[in-house]
Amino acid sequence: MATDSAARDIAADQTSATGYVRALSVWDASMVVVGGVIGSGIFLTPAAIAQQTSSATEQLIAWAIGGVIALTGALCYAELGARRPTAGGGYVYLREAFGLIVAFVYGWNLLVVNHSGAIAAVATVFVEYAGAAFGVTIADPRPFAVGTIVFLTGINWFGIRAGSLTQNILTVLKLLAISVLIVVGLTARGAPAPVAPPTSTSPLALIGALMPVLFSYGGWYYVNDIAGEIRDPQRNLPRSLIFGMLLVAACYLLANAAYLAVLGHDGLAASKAPAADLMRHVLGEPGARLIAAGIAISTLGFCNISVIGAARVFQVMGADGVFFRAAGRLHPRWRSPNVALVLLAFWSCALALTGTFNQLLNYSTVGDWLGMAAVIATLFWYHRHQSAEPVAFRVPLFPVLPLAFLIVVLWIVAVTVIDHPADAGMGVLITLAGLPVYFFWSRVRRARA
């Protein structure tokens, strides 16, 4: 009888209140963080940063500052995850702090544009780089992108263990590709001499360079969406966020040092594909194809993370009655949000086939960052209304760090609105379009009740 009781206690500890199985270790969760941040950005974005800076030093400073800002945001999410270690991430925090309607609008943007658009876009990028790795030009990547989305959905149908194992493999291969890039760049060197002495850059120009840097650092929050499947999440989720972001920052700084060592600052600024140019400069065309394979693996891993995280958010929305009720169910054997996975895959495939995802992602920028600001703002609600709640991890220097991050987010939103007012306006319309949908689902929920 004592053995049976212990077994029941272990089973209860391994299964969260929502029915998910707590199967992920701190290493698994860290690979989710790394995989959610590193996509194709580090292989392409450094060229854009070099165009807005005047020296290698300023280039590295921009990436270091971006890493500090991203780590600040991750620390905020670490406390939120420690407070509410359940599936759903930001949706759950907003629902408790600011009400269901705010949480729904956040989830609506994720469903219609942000996550689904990112899945469609990154699946397309994966197909293009996979073709480049094999030396094949794919005239129409859309059907292959759909196949990629269906393939990843099929893997994740079989639960978090299958999805996590796939993610671990892809993330390790991704880190291996970046390591090869770094080692080749730092050992080969050979940067051409600059054609003119570097000119000084104003602080405002350096601030402008931070925009693409911060976009490259985004994605750590996916791990909060699967907090209901992490073992001892109050401790392991913060550990995974901190370790994962420090690892990402190290990779980004070393990769930039490698680009600068081989291409030089001027050469990096003139490059359209710095990773391919670096490898081609040192190893020839085989090197360029090798790094194309690395980028393909990296984007596939990011796509897998997006599928895993987004499906959990939509499952919680379904369980709350503000989305299809069937989406709130879990597979009886695999404990996966199988219906939410299928619905997410259907919409993502539709975006991939129509090719509308790029414009939608442009529309979503303001809503995406405002949603992140709203999630960070829930920290102030928790500190005021749940101050006595025992928490395994608290963001240091509260409220300084959350306020600093909010200021950065609002700066990004302001710059985006000023530079792209039409896109920002369409993003507002997409957000407002979620309100009648919310009232429809609310009416359906009351009728069922």
Is residue 13 one of the residues assigned to a domain?
Answer: no
Sign of the Cα pseudo-torsion (123, 239, 370, 341, in order): positive
Q: How confident is the model at residue 416 (pLDDT cuts 50, 70, 90)?
A: confident
Q: What is the per-residue pLDDT across 208-255, written as a single tens digit (0 to 9) for each?
A: 788 899 999 999 999 999 999 999 999 999 999 999 999 999 999 999
pLDDT tens digits, residue range 427-437?
889 988 999 99
**162-210 pLDDT per residue, tens:** 999 999 999 999 999 999 999 999 998 665 545 444 445 555 556 778 8
Give tens-digit pLDDT for 199-210.
Answer: 455 555 567 788
pTM: 0.92
Mean pLDDT of 275-295: 94
Residue 342 lies in a domain: yes
| 107 falls within a domain | yes
> pLDDT class for 3, splitting at 50, 70, 90?
very low
What pLDDT score does 355 carry? Answer: 82
What angle in degrees, to the nearest 10, is found between the helix axes of 421-448 and 400-419? 120
SS3 of the chain: CHHHHHHHHHHHHHECCCCCECCECHHHHHHHHHHHHCCCHHHHHHHHHHHCCCCHHHHHHHHHHHHHHHHHHHHHHHHHHHHCCCECCHHHHHHHHHCHHHHHHHHHHHHHHHHHHHHHHHHHHHHHHHHHHCCCCCCCCHHHHHHHHHHHHHHHHCCHHHHHHHHHHHHHHHHHHHHHHHHHHHHHCCCCCCCCCCCCCCHHHHHHHHHHHHHHHCCCCHHHHEHHHECCHHHHHHHHHHHHHHHHHHHHHHHHHHHHHHHHHHHHHHCCCHHHHHHHHHHCHHHHHHHHHHHHHHHHHHHHHHHHHHHHHHHHHHHHCCCCHHHHCCCCCCCCCHHHHHHHHHHHHHHHHHCCHHHHHHHHHHHHHHHHHHHHHHHHHHHHHCCCCCCCCCCCCCCHHHHHHHHHHHHHHHHHHHHCHHHHHHHHHHHHHHHHHHHHHHHHHHHHC
pLDDT for 326-379, tens place per residue? 999 999 999 999 999 999 999 999 999 988 787 888 888 888 899 999 999 999
Examine the pLDDT at 403 and tell me if it is beyond 50: yes
Mean pLDDT of the chain: 90
Q: Is residue 365 part of a domain?
A: yes
pLDDT digits (tens, 9 = 90+) for 25-45: 999 999 999 999 999 889 999
Q: What range defines the domain where residue 257 resides?
A: 23-387+396-448
pLDDT at 12: 38
Confidence of residue 5 (pLDDT cuts 50, 70, 90): very low
In a domain, 132, yes or no: yes
- Pick 198 or 277 by higher pLDDT: 277
Total domain count, the chain: 1
Please report whether residue 9 resides in a domain.
Answer: no
With a CB cutoff of 8 Å and minimum separation 6, the contacts of 277 are 263, 267, 271, 288
Which pLDDT does position 11 carry in this prediction? 37
pLDDT value of position 358: 79
- Residue 205's pLDDT is 59
Q: What is the pLDDT of residue 104?
A: 96
CATH number at 143 reads 1.20.1740.10
- Residue 144 belongs to some domain of the structure: yes
